[in-house]
A and B are shown apart, each in its own frame.
Chain A
Amino acid sequence: MTEGFGETVLRLADITVRFGPVTANEGVSLELRRGEVVALLGENGAGKTTLMNVLFGLYAADEGSVELFGQSLPPGNPRAALEAGVGMVHQHFTLAENLTVLDNIALGTRSLWSPVSGTRALRARVRALAEEYGLRVDPDATVANLTVGQRQRVEILKALVRDARILILDEPTAVLTPQESLDLFATLRRAVANGLSILFISHKLHEVEAVSDRVVVLRHGRVVAEAATAQTSRAEMARLMVGADIAAPAPRPARPGPVRVALRDVTTPARGTATGLRGVSMELRAGQVTGLVGVSGNGQTALAGLIAGLERPERGTLEIDGKTPAVWTPRTAVRAGIGRIPEDRHGEGTVGDFDLTENAMMELYSRWPFSRAGWIDRTSARAWAQKIIKRYDVRCPGPEAPIRLLSGGNMQKLILGRVMETAPDVILANQPVRGLDIGALTYVHEQLLAARDRGAAILLISEDLDEVIALSDVIHVLSEGRLSPGFERGTMTPTELGAWMTGAGFEDAA
């Protein structure tokens, strides 16, 4: 099986991709050899995903060429990449949720004009591959009912069924528990032993170190370094990736104050495929960051919705400053002094076609001075927006510009400003830095810590375990709607938290 190992299977030469004035990739060259795991390391916005989309044929590069197994790949044609043996597992899965696992895998495996679907043979093949690579999943299950980890296995199976010789994994562990990540690495090792080559995209240094043979570092769209993993160090990689020594935020010790928000044995109903809360009790104290981790889909949406006013307890009580509110809606939540940074800034946080002024007053429009007996006072609203733009360094053409023209970071700064300027007692920060570049990310973190030091109670929800560990004074873990006890800063290792994320440690755990 080792014959042919080491030959070059993929060669990217001088790839340049521009989106209007933005250059996403500039002169990127990369080689991948048979039976090798190459990690592509870079911050958000460094151009990793763009590069992979070029390789997979989803984008056509403006310059440069892609060569697979010595054959040059026609640009902009995913079919060609697939047929040449490239399998890609996107960061956001490309699965049809209401179809079965088998249907999802079958899609595209046969000619569209074939009169038969050939599912029986395919089911056997999927079973065999699942066995061989340790990818346990029921072929006849509907994807909507699968966990995130299982869905990722389906994506990998999709690639294997198509005889992929090269696997591209885009941030594969972002949504996995540490244990699931270990399972994934085991699968990847089996694949490499079978002669596959793997391109592993990540910004998590310890994973890169654990799984890759070689590492290529991308910054601002260019390759800035390439080294054998064994001959470099985490610190070195981090420096290369960010371009400067990164200082992890070192918050001053927290001075916890009174309880602002308390959940007492709260249960919420499941909404579609989103898990509800099951008997959750927790307290958010003033002057403290409470971090919440868990694999996405384990009740985060329900808990965030509860604090934000979108969800009400089915059983149990929610107390704000010791009192149970009679009415609980987003509006009463804002009135109660809860500042809310939503998970999805495009879908929930802003109205893209509204200008910055309108977006800035979205939560306050019905109050003086924005509303005067039902009439909107544009002057007050504009002044408010300008204040936020100035104080929070929102780069924009002006308060009358539609917000959809802004970058994600600037959009998030406007939301952050809208929240902070009301001096909230409680701040719900749901995935506050997702997709932001390092500058915006640091800014948001600093603002959150500053608010904490002013005495705000902060609930930080994030999929990024490292982020939560760095910022939180107390950490809870959500698993299948259940909440772990609160762990003080420094008392838990990532692995221990990971065990809780998989459900171990809960009283009713098997």
Chain B
Amino acid sequence: MSELFDILLSASFWAAAIRIASPLIFAAMGELICERAGVLNLGIEGIMVVGAFAGWMAVYSGMGLWPGVAVALASGMAFGLLHATLTVPFGLSQHVVGLGITLLATSATYYAYRIALPQVNTPPKIDAFDPYAIPGLSDLPLVGEALFTQTPLTYAAFVTAALVAFVLFRTPLGLAIRACGENPAAVAAQGLPVTGLRMGAVIVGSGLMAVGGAFLTMSAFDSFFFEMVNGRGWICIALVVFGAWRPGKTLLGAVLFAAFDALQIRLQQTELGAVLPYQAFLAAPYILSILALVVMSRRAQVPAALMVPFRKGER
């Protein structure tokens, strides 16, 4: 028990939690934008794989870190464009298209990796983002190390969440996007382009998912390997439900989830790790996500037009 308190009170634990949360924040914000506009994006898992590879590959082939992030963003937007084209104007099944995008994006990435780097056994590392201690703030006890001694991409994740919240809830554009997810006919009746808004949301959202993937290779593991996304995309979908489609709550959910993930890694080192098999610890985050869905699904206010295609002139 005291070990648990030691873990929970250590700054390094919370620093790890914030680090683990960062890719989830990017991707979950991306998913949230899509779903607020009325499109479920199950391509998230594959788009994160693409982003992880694209960002890393760009840096590996000589680009700077931020240009690398931009490449990841663009790669995600490209797949977002494909997803949006199929689901919005054509109104095809969002389930099937999303899964198809995940399969396509994942296999295309692996193929590109094999072509770019044939016969490599250990994936090469890149010079990734370094932690940047924010002057002043990083000297604060506990929070200084946990929050303000992170890599720039982590700060970007939090800024992104704030930006998403501002745009969605404080600007006419955000209102129009949310209305697309609630009743697209109301948007069309105002002469606003439902198709354009939804597609835009999916494209931008997919870009953020890819940046979330890029975090893994550019700010965490410093190299690309297969299966590295490992269900994080699916967890982000659960986080959006957990966060009741609100950016703030979703961000909180991501941090809580990440804290739990960091905790299970540390608990493996304690006497609990000797009692339980390590697989139980690894499975815990997935099970926790499912439990969170069960608890939250009853209360959550799902966007009313989520997964409802819209065609002009039809009711």
Contact = CB atoms under 8 A, between A and B. Distances in A.
Are A and B in contact, CB atoms below 8 Å, in the complex?
Answer: yes
Interface of A: 53, 57-59, 77-83, 88, 90, 92, 94-99, 103-104, 106-117
Contacts of A111: 172
Kindly list the 6 A-B residue pairs having the minimum CB-CB distance in the complex, ordered from nearest: A79-B191, A108-B190, A96-B182, A78-B191, A94-B189, A94-B186
B160 interface: no
B230 interface: no
Given A77-B191, A90-B189, A107-B190, A98 B304 contact: yes
A115 B171 CA distance: 6
Interface string B267-307: 00000000000000000000000000000000001011000
Contact of A95 (B170, B172, B183, B315): B183
A188 B189 CA distance: 22
B191 A82 contact: yes
A99 B172 contact: no
A9 to B, nearest CB: 20
Given A77-B191, A96-B182, A112-B192, A107 B171 contact: no
Contact of A92 (B176, B192, B315): B315
A97 B183 contact: yes
Contact of B173 (A77, A81, A88, A113): A113
A94 B171 contact: no
Interface in B167-216: 170-173, 175-176, 178-179, 182-183, 185-192
B191 A88 contact: no
Interface of B: 170-173, 175-176, 178-179, 182-183, 185-192, 301, 303-304, 312-313, 315
Nearest to A98: B182
Q: Which of A80, A94, A115 has the most CB of B within 10 A?
A: A94
Contacts of A53: 313
Contacts of B189: 58, 78, 88, 90, 94
A107 B301 contact: no
A113 B189 CA distance: 19
A53 B303 CA distance: 27
Given A78-B189, A92-B315, A108-B176, 17 more contacts: A58-B313, A78-B191, A81-B191, A83-B191, A94-B183, A95-B183, A96-B178, A96-B179, A96-B182, A96-B183, A96-B186, A99-B175, A107-B179, A107-B186, A112-B172, A112-B176, A114-B171
B175 A107 contact: yes
23 contacts: A53-B313, A57-B191, A79-B191, A79-B192, A82-B190, A92-B315, A94-B189, A97-B304, A98-B182, A98-B304, A103-B175, A104-B179, A104-B186, A107-B172, A107-B179, A107-B186, A107-B187, A107-B190, A107-B192, A110-B172, A116-B170, A117-B172, A117-B175
Contacts of A94: 183, 185-186, 188-189
Nearest to A102: B175
A103 B172 CA distance: 9
B262 to A, nearest CB: 35
Contact of B182 (A59, A82, A99): A99
Nearest to A56: B189
Nearest to A112: B173
A72 to B, nearest CB: 17
B191 to A, nearest CB: 3
Contacts of B170: 116-117
Nearest to A158: B190
A78 B173 contact: no
A75 to B, nearest CB: 13
Nearest to A82: B191
Contacts of A59: 313
A156 to B, nearest CB: 14
A226 to B, nearest CB: 28
Contacts of B312: 58
Nearest to B178: A99
A113 B175 CA distance: 11
Contacts of B313: 53, 58-59
Nearest to A108: B190
Given A78-B191, A79-B191, A96 B171 contact: no
A108 B192 contact: yes
B162 to A, nearest CB: 15
A101 to B, nearest CB: 13
Nearest to B170: A117
Nearest to A96: B182
B299 to A, nearest CB: 13
Given A107-B175, A115-B171, A117-B171, A96 B304 contact: yes
Contacts of A114: 171-173
